């Protein structure tokens, strides 16, 4: 048995294979309450895969993930890990919220409905209460006037902010961001980063895959640098950005 | 050309540019219209002069037997399509689950029911008693097949289960058309598999599913006439029963054709409305001010 600890995210020795290809190789990641961790690394280094393993959208071949001391996807029983039912897994996922590169707002629902869907359908909150909170959240991301718009009548930046409001509506313990600004036009990046910064300042625990070094420098407590499915560096912002590790150096010099 | 000459030319051109405009004569269209009208007149005159007793048509148009047939046709259409949609959606969902056994069952179902002519399937159901004289749960419940396999049940099963195979393919295509990101977003907010399907995937698949299923509905109205072969008293069967007695074949067929066209006209307009409803979120919709020149997509 593993005793509980004070990591909100505790991923241990994750290995993930796609056929013959090893996308993640013995990766561990720990995040404490209120910490903001940015994950950097070249394309194909396994950043998305790691994030997806955290909420079990991808099932690791080896290793396990604890979120708030809850073992994700399995039950520990006499020295074996038994797979949980999809309903039980769904319940665990409410602690993690994810924001996607391509927003993935529900296309057939308005901005408001996107934000009330989770609370009403998953948490069992009443319509009226969910709506009240959703409007508050939309206000927080600066979109009070767009509540009735369908996603296709919103700009990319607005869609991503609705997606953040949707994620927040579940009152998650930790938020995962997978390159939330890389599908956006440059002039729209700022509005999304602004919302994320204010989230970080409010004490939200966040794991952010991003190419925005500026954002990392400003709000991250730690940077994890990945390459070829491995964690190469996991250190403070200054340490990583000034690292002399050749692989990290190559990447950083290219993006800085 | 001198500068003055150029100015003069420009002036004439401005006049030409302001000339009254005339559209090209649409001769082809007129010619087509003439041919079409001539053909129509030929057909109508044929019907009027032909050996058709129009008063008989009028007499039977609203007769109780025809009305009964009409009702049975309509409600059988809904019953069979209801079965087709429920079973077909079930088969489509089985087809996309990770369970290999369910996938095979679904594939087999589609292969089987799509492969046998519908009329033959009606006969099979109607004569089920020849294979299974009794139905039920062994030791608990047993009924004589011949008692329950009425023309109505045989028609509903025969037409519904066969159509389900087609519906299954359409629903599957609809489900596949929904972006995988929608599923992941739904799962990431903690939705269960059933919720993901019912609230996120299927509603968005509808846009793809509705038009072909609407067409199936319309075909089904006509397919029910096959059931006249197993004595189900839908419209064709009822008018046949009448003309076998009075010999007024053409008159009664016209009565039936008239009602089929009415039912199909109504269903077609309903189909249009349902399509508009499910296109929600795919046509650009802005709530407040009128958008500047936003063009509609789809619809
Ligand atoms: N479902 C999959 N099947 C097969 N290979 C996959 C799958 N998902 C990811 N991979 C592979 O795993 C590797 C890591 O992918 P991943 O998406 O995690 O990279 P990434 O670091 O997020 O890259 P990017 O910055 O481009 O988003 C890639 O080589 C990718 O091709
Ligand atoms: Mg990625």
CATH number at residue B105: 1.10.3720.10
Bigger pLDDT: B142 vs B95: B95
For chain B, the average pLDDT equals: 88
pLDDT digits (tens, 9 = 90+) for A1-29: 456 788 999 999 999 999 999 999 999 99
Contact B280 A150 (CB under 8 A): yes
Predicted local confidence at residue B49, as pLDDT: 82
B61 occurs within a structural domain = yes
ipTM, 2 dp: 0.93
A205-209, strands of its sheet edge to edge: A96-99, A174-178, A205-209, A36-40, A222-227, A230-235
B297 occurs within a structural domain = no
Contact B185 A106 (CB under 8 A): yes
**What is the pLDDT confidence band of residue B213, given thresholds at 50, 70 and 90?**
very high
CA distance A238 to chain B (A): 32
In the predicted model, is pLDDT for residue B36 greater than 90?
yes
The CA distance from A99 to A89, in Å, is 19
Query: Which helix or strand (DSSP H or E) is residue B242 part of?
Result: helix B235-246
Q: Whose CA is nearest to atom 9 of ligand 1?
A: A49
Closest ligand 1 atom to residue A179 Cα is 27
**What is the pLDDT confidence band of residue B101, given thresholds at 50, 70 and 90?**
very high
Contact B190 A106 (CB under 8 A): no
**What is the pLDDT confidence band of residue A67, given thresholds at 50, 70 and 90?**
very high
Interface of A with B in 47-106 (CB under 8 A): 55, 57, 86-87, 90-94, 96-98, 100, 102, 104-106
Given a contact cutoff of 8 angstroms between Cβ atoms, the answer to whether A137 and A147 are in contact is no
- Chain centre to alpha carbon of residue A160: 13
Q: What are phi and psi of B154, to 5 degrees?
A: -60, -40
Rounded mean pLDDT, B129-140 = 83
pLDDT digits (tens, 9 = 90+) for A39-52: 999 999 999 999 99
Rounded mean pLDDT, B230-241 = 94
Predicted local confidence at residue B126, as pLDDT: 93
B40 occurs within a structural domain = no
Predicted local confidence at residue B285, as pLDDT: 46
Q: Whose CA is nearest to atom 26 of ligand 1?
A: A43
Q: How far is the CA of A50 from the centre of ligand 1 (A)?
A: 10
CA distance B282 to chain A (A): 7
Among chain A residues, the shortest Cα distance to B277 is held by A108
Given a contact cutoff of 8 angstroms between Cβ atoms, the answer to whether B182 and B204 are in contact is yes
For chain A, the average pLDDT equals: 93
Predicted local confidence at residue A192, as pLDDT: 93
pTM of this structure: 0.82
Q: Which region among A171-185, A206-220, B10-24, B209-223 has the lowest average model confidence (pLDDT)?
A: B10-24
B13 occurs within a structural domain = no
B12 occurs within a structural domain = no
**What is the pLDDT confidence band of residue B80, given thresholds at 50, 70 and 90?**
very high
Predicted local confidence at residue B292, as pLDDT: 42
Which letter, b or e, does each residue of B107-117 get, where b requires 16 or more Cβ atoms within 10 Å of its Cβ? eebbeebeeee
B296 occurs within a structural domain = no
**What is the pLDDT confidence band of residue B2, given thresholds at 50, 70 and 90?**
low
Query: Which residues span the domain enclosing B136?
Result: 53-279
Rounded mean pLDDT, B233-261 = 94
B183 occurs within a structural domain = yes
> Pocket of ligand 1, candidates A16, A17, A18, A19: which has the most ligand atoms within 8 Å of its Cβ, to mutate?
A18
Interface of A with B in 109-128 (CB under 8 A): 109-110, 117-118, 121-122
Considering its fold, how many domains does chain B have in total? Answer: 1
Rounded mean pLDDT, B94-111 = 94
Q: How far is the CA of B273 from the centre of ligand 2 (A)?
A: 41
B2 occurs within a structural domain = no
């Amino acid at each position: 048995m593993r005793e509980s600890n004070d990591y909100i995210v505790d991923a241990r020795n994750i290995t993930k294979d796609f056929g013959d290809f090893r996308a993640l190789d013995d990766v561990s990641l720990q995040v404490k309450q209120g910490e903001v961790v940015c994950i950097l690394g070249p394309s194909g280094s396994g950043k998305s895969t790691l994030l997806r393993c955290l909420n079990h959208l991808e099932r690791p071949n080896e290793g396990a993930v604890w979120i708030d001391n809850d073992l994700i996807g399995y039950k520990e029983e006499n020295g074996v890990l038994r797979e949980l039912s999809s309903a039980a897994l769904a319940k665990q996922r409410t602690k993690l919220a994810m924001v996607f590169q391509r927003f993935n707002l529900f296309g057939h629902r308005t901005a408001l409905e996107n934000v009330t869907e989770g609370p009403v359908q998953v948490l069992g909150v009443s319509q009226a209460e969910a709506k009240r909170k959703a409007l508050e959240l939309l206000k927080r991301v600066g979109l009070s006037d767009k509540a009735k718009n369908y996603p296709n009548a919103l700009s990319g930046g607005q869609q991503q902010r609705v997606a953040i409001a949707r994620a927040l509506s579940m009152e998650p313990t930790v938020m995962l961001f997978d390159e939330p600004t890389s599908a956006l036009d440059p002039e729209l990046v700022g509005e999304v980063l602004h919302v994320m910064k204010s989230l970080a300042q409010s004490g939200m625990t966040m794991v952010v895959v991003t190419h925005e070094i500026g954002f990392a420098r400003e709000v991250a407590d730690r940077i994890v640098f990945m390459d070829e499915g491995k964690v190469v560096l996991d250190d403070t912002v200054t340490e990583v950005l000034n690292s002399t590790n050749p692989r990290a150096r190559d990447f950083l010099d290219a993006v800085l | 050309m001198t500068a003055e000459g150029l100015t003069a030319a420009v002036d004439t051109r401005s006049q030409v540019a302001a000339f009254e405009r005339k559209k090209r004569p649409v001769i082809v269209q007129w010619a087509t219209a003439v041919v079409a009208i001539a053909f129509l007149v030929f057909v109508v005159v044929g019907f009027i002069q032909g050996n058709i007793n129009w008063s008989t048509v009028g007499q039977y148009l609203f007769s109780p037997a025809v009305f009964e047939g009409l009702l049975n046709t309509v409600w059988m259409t809904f019953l069979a399509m209801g079965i087709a949609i429920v079973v077909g959606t079930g088969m489509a969902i089985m087809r996309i689950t990770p369970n290999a056994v369910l996938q095979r069952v679904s594939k087999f179902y589609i292969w089987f029911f799509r492969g046998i002519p519908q009329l033959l399937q009606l006969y099979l159901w109607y004569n089920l008693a020849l294979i299974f004289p009794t139905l039920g749960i062994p030791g608990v419940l047993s009924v004589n097949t011949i008692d329950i396999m009425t023309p109505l049940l045989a028609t509903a099963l025969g037409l519904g289960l066969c159509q389900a195979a087609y519906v299954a393919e359409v629903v599957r295509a609809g489900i596949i058309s929904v972006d995988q990101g929608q599923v992941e977003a739904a799962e990431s907010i903690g939705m269960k598999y059933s919720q993901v399907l019912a609230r996120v995937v299927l509603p968005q698949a509808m846009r793809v599913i509705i038009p072909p299923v609407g067409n199936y509905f319309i075909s089904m109205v006509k397919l029910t006439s096959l059931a006249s072969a197993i004595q189900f008293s839908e419209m064709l069967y009822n008018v046949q029963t009448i003309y076998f007695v009075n010999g007024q074949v053409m008159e009664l067929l016209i009565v039936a054709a008239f009602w089929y066209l009415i039912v199909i006209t109504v269903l077609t307009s309903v189909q249009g409305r349902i399509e508009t409803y499910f296109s929600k979120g795919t046509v650009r919709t802005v709530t407040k001010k009128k958008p500047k020149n936003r063009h509609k997509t789809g619809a």
